[in-house]
Chain A
């Protein structure tokens, strides 16, 4: 279970006007501004839930995911993930979660995918039986048998994302964070990725937290959505409650953003 209570996080951002003179000035005297990324964010996510975490760019989605995955320490507030404080007991915590950043690869670039998987097996100290079972399952569900021997750099984006999914699940995490997993993918790959995530959730009860701008991801994968804007949780509810009339989900969300002026 994930519990977040009044989490706040601010960043210091330096600002200056355009031009060389301004750049030179800011070299000596910097004007910093404090930007609030998260402003008393609270929510609870139960085991096995699928949650879409949505909001415009810069709303605080990534910051939330980074706090939940032990990368960042919040300024204030409480956060417990299965009884662990992510940033206090990082190593114990991250052994139980999987994280995918859609824009960054976690596979070693120049070696075949299977070599990356084996290194991950060693990093996570995955028992041989678990590793074998997970690898077999994923190879079948994601159709990896053809590409496991290919170096990562020679994979298409769709193939790579399928490998990324497998890589994040080799250690059987209870919670899976997905940060824009379908970005840049073609229709076939998108559908494959979505279907796989749904299956994984059903078969293993993996909690899925998904941030995306693709509303079809949300529709296909999640049951519940949390809307964040300017660092505040604006809405938290079932997908069905959100829809008004027969409009498609993109319009519904655009309407939502407009109504909250974010």
Chain B
């Protein structure tokens, strides 16, 4: 075969995405029901926050719309992360069914192929809910929107999505050893989504430290939020969410180590 230019990873990912869109269109009813289901499930989150505030009025100085802003951004990040990295979330099944052997026999990076194997478009439902909450939060929180604050939100979305992708990547990497799913990892994904409704400093200093240095949720949530809501005018906090993307590096290294331990599963 003559030497030809390899098509780029981004382009190949778009091709995978296109296959998923075409597949989804084969099952219209299933797609819509799941999407609506996702939408209604996330309604829980809104109600939870709503009733909390009806009872207490404010939580540690945060208003209802400020918390809504926080939780909606977290929910968006989570939905995006789950949509993109769903392949890692369902990775145990892939290993058990031998689908990963197929990945290994194709001349592209394993990460790219696993990502491409499952792109969860039904998360649009959750995303829609998050956008509604976000819009309400914006219009009622009294945030003075400047270019810097808009950038902060964009950085938060990038950093947070990367963070959730990283956690899903860890989850998949551990499967190389266990060949099975690890439910405790859900604390870091679903758990974070739930606790992340409120700025993490609410949970005390220890928790804030954990969320700053171990799994850096606070970098995409608490710190930039203080800037957004005018509690701090430290420009540095605006860029902290981007720092959270560095979290992907140790996750990727763990994956690489796991890959070397891959044992396949029967014939």
Partner of B22, one of A71, A99, A103, A111: A111
The total of chain B residues at the interface (CB under 8 A) is 33
B19 contacts across to A, CB distance below 8 A: 108, 111, 115, 119
**A91: Cβ under 8 A from any B Cβ:** yes
**B26: Cβ under 8 A from any A Cβ:** yes
Q: Which of A46-54, A121-129, A249-257 contacts B (4 or more CB under 8 A)?
A: A121-129
What does DSSP make chain B's interface, helix, strand, loop or mixed? loop
Q: Which of B250-266 contact A (CB under 8 A)?
A: 260, 262-264, 266
Interface extent on A, as a size class? 35 or more
**B183: Cβ under 8 A from any A Cβ:** no
Mark A72-84 against chain B: 1 for CB-CB distance below 8 A, else 0: 1100000000000
In the complex, the 8 A-B pairs of residues with the closest C-beta atoms, listed nearest first: A62-B267, A110-B23, A95-B107, A71-B104, A99-B105, A125-B6, A127-B4, A110-B26
**A69: Cβ under 8 A from any B Cβ:** yes
Contacts from B to A (Cβ < 8 Å): 1-2, 4-7, 11-12, 15-16, 19, 22-23, 26-27, 97-99, 101-102, 104-109, 113, 260, 262-264, 266-267
Mark A107-122 against chain B: 1 for CB-CB distance below 8 A, else 0: 0111100010011001
> Do A97 and B105 touch (CB < 8 A)?
yes
12 A–B contacts, CB within 8 A, in A order:
A61-B267, A71-B264, A91-B108, A96-B1, A103-B267, A109-B23, A110-B22, A115-B22, A124-B107, A126-B4, A127-B1, A130-B1
A124 contacts across to B, CB distance below 8 A: 106-107
B5 contacts across to A, CB distance below 8 A: 125
B104 contacts across to A, CB distance below 8 A: 69-71, 90, 94
Q: How far is the CA of A61 from the CA of B260 in the complex (A)?
A: 21
Q: How far is the CA of A111 from the CA of B15 in the complex (A)?
A: 13
Q: How far is the CB of B207 from chain A (nearest CB, A)?
A: 32
A130 contacts across to B, CB distance below 8 A: 1-2
> Do A72 and B267 touch (CB < 8 A)?
no
A104 contacts across to B, CB distance below 8 A: 97-99, 101-102
Q: How far is the CB of B119 from chain A (nearest CB, A)?
A: 12
Chain A, Cβ-Cβ closest to B266: A62
Mark A14-50 against chain B: 1 for CB-CB distance below 8 A, else 0: 0000000000000000000000000000000000000
Q: How far is the CB of A65 from chain B (nearest CB, A)?
A: 9
Q: How far is the CB of A257 from chain B (nearest CB, A)?
A: 18
Q: Which of A136-178 contact B (CB under 8 A)?
A: 151, 171-172
Query: With A94-B107, A101-B98, A101-B101 in contact, do A119 and B26 touch (Cβ < 8 Å)?
Result: no
> Do B264 and A122 touch (CB < 8 A)?
no
> Do A106 and B102 touch (CB < 8 A)?
yes
Contacts from A to B (Cβ < 8 Å): 11, 61-62, 66, 69-73, 90-92, 94-97, 99, 101, 103-104, 106, 108-111, 115, 118-119, 122-127, 130, 151, 171-172, 179
Partner of A122, one of B15, B22, B98, B260: B15
> Do B23 and A125 touch (CB < 8 A)?
no
B2 contacts across to A, CB distance below 8 A: 127, 130
> Do A72 and B263 touch (CB < 8 A)?
yes
Q: How far is the CB of A190 from chain B (nearest CB, A)?
A: 20
A70 contacts across to B, CB distance below 8 A: 104-105
A118 contacts across to B, CB distance below 8 A: 15
Q: How far is the CA of A73 from the CA of B7 in the complex (A)?
A: 28
Q: How far is the CB of A175 from chain B (nearest CB, A)?
A: 12
> Do A111 and B102 touch (CB < 8 A)?
no
Q: How far is the CB of B3 from chain A (nearest CB, A)?
A: 9
A69 contacts across to B, CB distance below 8 A: 104-105
> Do A11 and B263 touch (CB < 8 A)?
yes
> Do A72 and B107 touch (CB < 8 A)?
no
A172 contacts across to B, CB distance below 8 A: 1
> Do A122 and B11 touch (CB < 8 A)?
yes
Partner of B264, one of A72, A90, A94, A97: A72
B102 contacts across to A, CB distance below 8 A: 101, 104, 106
Chain B, Cβ-Cβ closest to A90: B104
> Do B262 and A72 touch (CB < 8 A)?
yes
Q: How far is the CA of A70 from the CA of B106 in the complex (A)?
A: 10
Q: How far is the CA of A81 from the CA of B23 in the complex (A)?
A: 37
Chain A, Cβ-Cβ closest to B98: A104
Q: How far is the CA of A179 from the CA of B23 in the complex (A)?
A: 28
Chain B, Cβ-Cβ closest to A62: B267
> Do B98 and A66 touch (CB < 8 A)?
no
Q: How far is the CB of A79 from chain B (nearest CB, A)?
A: 15
Chain A, Cβ-Cβ closest to B104: A71
> Do A66 and B264 touch (CB < 8 A)?
yes
Q: How far is the CB of A163 from chain B (nearest CB, A)?
A: 15
Most chain A beta-carbon contacts within 10 A, residue among B22, B99, B260: B22
B1 contacts across to A, CB distance below 8 A: 95-96, 126-127, 130, 171-172
Q: How far is the CA of A111 from the CA of B18 in the complex (A)?
A: 11
